[in-house]
Amino acid sequence: MAPTRWQAEKTRMRTSWPANNPHAGDQGYTLLEILVVIAILALLAGLAGPRLFSGNARTELTRLVQESRQLVLDTGLRARQTARPQALVLDLTDKRLANERDSLSLAGLDRLDMVTARELGEQKDQGQILFYPDGSSTGGEIRLGKGPFSEVLKIDWLTGQVTRAPAS
């Protein structure tokens, strides 16, 4: 009986491999095996991805502390430029730090607190630091925290200088 066309092609394909090729008998991976590997990789990426690729708490805190520090410095500078006192207000309810021109949302923080010599009227959820044209201020601290991390912006009452330090 003569070989069929399919058997002839199969024989031709087998004989086209060099005899010394170590992969001559390998059949490769089935579609099912490849799909299982892809599913496992997708599951691992779904579990580890948010932790590895999203902005972590430290990065977010650092960004907000830097922006808050810049707003504090801008408020002091504006007091010297306009020759009149400027207020920096921290609203704990809205999680917002603002002066008369600019405002910064601190909604991404878990912890927010202000220690100052002056409260804003009867409102206990707001505090303010005043900056004067001579460079001084009422002074205080702004504590910011996210996750396990926290930092403090300290505003010196005599010089209005702003320093940044990890919270203790």
Question: Both ends of the chain: CA-CA distance in Å?
Answer: 91
pLDDT tens digit sequence for 104-161? 999 989 899 988 875 545 567 888 899 999 999 999 999 999 988 899 999 999 998 9
* pLDDT for position 50: 63
pLDDT tens digit sequence for 52-76? 655 578 888 999 999 999 999 999 9
Q: Is 56 helix (H, G, I), strand (E, B) or coil?
A: coil
* pLDDT for position 35: 93
Q: pLDDT category, 47, cuts 50, 70, 90?
A: confident
d(CA 135, CA 65): 22
Determine what percent of the chain falls in helix, strand and coil, rounding each to the nearest 5: 35, 25, 40
**What mean pLDDT do residues 93-100 have?**
94
The pTM of the full predicted model, rounded to 2 decimals, is: 0.65
Whose CA is closest to 67, among 103, 20, 91? 103
Q: Where are the domains of the chain?
A: 57-166
Q: Work out whether strand 126-131 and strand 86-91 pair parallel, antiparallel, or are unpaired.
A: antiparallel
CATH topology of domain 57-166: minor pseudopilin epsh fold (3.55.40)
The amino acid at 21: N
